Amino acid sequence: MPLYTYKAVNPDGRMLLGRIDALNLVDLEMRLRRMELDLVSGEPLSQRTLFASGGVPRREMIHFCFHLQQLVRAGVPVIEGLTDLRDSLEHARFREVVASLIEAIEGGQTLSQAMDGHRSVFNAVFVSLIRAGETTGRLPEVLHSLNESLKWEDELASQTKKMIAYPAFVGVIVLAASFFLMVYMVPQLKMFVTNMGQVLPTQTVVLFFVSDLMVDYWYLLLILPAILALGLRALLHSNPLARFRFDGVKLALPFLGNILRKIALSRFANTFALLYASGIPILESIRTTQDVVGNLVIRRGLERVEQLIGEGQNVTAAFHATGFFPPLVIRMLRVGENTGALDDALMNVSYFYNRDVKESVARMQQLIEPLLTVVMGALLGWIMLSVLGPVYDVISKIQV
């Protein structure tokens, strides 16, 4: 269905600009009229630009799930609840999506079927949970679980950004200071040191060599990292084997690899527990969550789990075979399977990983700060020693 840009007027007389899917201009006008907007002008977009995003901020999704849950729990029909939400949304793209959901439901589709047509906003996990809630009559509970899960993801993303922000900031400062010293300060000191006629120590020769390289080829230092990053990204997108090996390398990194593994498994455990507790069969739950982990190595392990359970093995043995889960988690699964309370056991696994990720991120933040301080101190110490060493030797000979 083509994407149209439009200019319309709302009941208050305010001019609005936006985009919405429509068959033609007549269909566009009808869709906007259902949104209580009067079309002024509209034209189709031949294609979506590379940077156009069909996604919606996570905070908007949290508010959507919370308000829809409250309305449905109060007995308000879904279509009326969506209409109220559409009128209160400020995010233009999401308002258009909700308007499209209303039209699809009015056309005879269920809420999950309508959401399935907007995979850029509602992913497979979201749609599967809504479908399960509709089937079991537990839509308010599912919406509450989705709301809690989205808030957890938002908190996890915030913690990850905090973990990355400080070292990234300090790293940029260190690189900028090093670049300034090597390109501007060291060449000036080189003239002074070489004119003393001293035999230069090895560290000074190395420092001057590196400085000369940076002065002569500074543009490569700026362009080469960007070229390598773009090349690596293209390789990972086009070559599944390269992506698999790269994901394996990430998990093998000291300190960071363990945190990345825990984040992926935490995301899996939380989503898997949510799906299974909502009444979705275990094999379908595992299959749905394979795209959530974001790591091909762990995904292959989950595919192996699905295969083993499909062949008749119990859940505990299948998860133990992957080698990703610690003994405590395996023990939780075994107890849950033996007592018939696997959903509670999965929720405990989710809680275990959630807490473990928070503690690991906090420890990583505490470790990064002194590590970056040591790196910066070592770099400055090397430069000072290399430059001041020959000067000190000359002063010592004069005193003698």
Residue 397 has a pLDDT of 62
Does one domain contain both 285 and 380?
yes
Distance CA 241, CA 238 (A): 9
Q: Tell me: the pLDDT tens digits for 329-353? A: 788 888 888 887 877 887 787 788 7
Same domain, 38 and 112: no
Q: From CA 8, how far away is CA 14, in angstroms rounded?
A: 8
If asked whether residues 379 and 337 sit together in one domain, one would say: yes
Q: Strand, helix or coil at 132?
A: helix
Token couple for 10 = 């709302």
pLDDT in tens, 172-190: 887 787 788 788 877 877 7
The torsion angles phi and psi of 3, rounded to 5 degrees, stand at -100, 125
Q: Tell me if 158 is assigned to some domain.
A: no
DSSP code of 199?
P
Contacts of 23 (CB under 8 A, 6+ apart): 1, 2
So what's the pLDDT on residue 46? Answer: 44
In a domain, 198, yes or no: yes
Cα angle for residues 37, 1, 9 (degrees, 5° grid) = 10
- Strand order across the 15-21 sheet: 15-21, 3-9, 38-45
Return the CATH number at 81. Answer: 1.20.81.30
pLDDT at 85: 85
The reported pLDDT for the residue numbered 227 is 92
Same domain as 318, residue 255: yes
For residues 384 and 308, membership in a common domain is answered with yes
Same domain, 375 and 300: yes
- Is residue 267 domain-resident? yes
- The CA R_g of the chain, rounded to the nearest whole Å, is 29
**Could you read off the pLDDT of 255-273 as tens digits, one per residue?**
778 888 888 887 788 788 8
Answer whether residue 159 is part of any domain: no
Domain with 144 in it: 58-152
391's tokens: 């000067």
Kindly report, residue by residue over 281-302, the tens digit of the pLDDT: 888 888 888 877 778 888 888 8
Share the mean pLDDT of the chain.
80
**Total number of domains in the chain:** 3
On whether residue 32 sits in a domain, the answer given is yes
Residues 4/42, Cβ–Cβ less than 8 Å: yes
Lowest mean pLDDT among 119-133, 239-253, 342-356, 380-394: 380-394
Q: Is 277 within a domain? A: yes
369 and 246 fall within a common domain: yes
Domain boundary among 152, 179, 202: 152
The pLDDT of residue 57? 84
Mean pLDDT value across residues 95-114: 86
pLDDT at 181: 78
Q: Is residue 299 located within the same domain as residue 189? A: yes
Q: Which residue has the higher pLDDT, 389 or 56?
A: 56
Which ranges constitute the DSSP H helices of the chain?
Answer: 25-34, 58-73, 78-88, 92-106, 111-116, 124-136, 139-180, 186-194, 202-216, 218-238, 240-252, 256-277, 282-289, 296-310, 315-322, 327-339, 342-399
pLDDT of residue 47 exceeding 50, the answer is: no
Tell me: do 115 and 244 sit in the same domain. no
Question: Is it the case that residue 143 has pLDDT exceeding 80?
Answer: yes
The last residue of a domain, from among 152, 175, 193 = 152
State mean pLDDT over 187-196: 74
333 and 382 in a common domain: yes
Residues 193 and 291 in one domain: yes
Task: Give percent of the chain above pLDDT 70.
Answer: 92
Most confident of 156-160, 269-273, 298-302, 396-400: 298-302
Question: Is 65 in the same domain as 22?
Answer: no
324 lies in some domain: yes
In a domain, 160, yes or no: no
pLDDT at 1 over 70: no
> Looking at the predicted structure, is the pLDDT value of residue 84 above 60?
yes
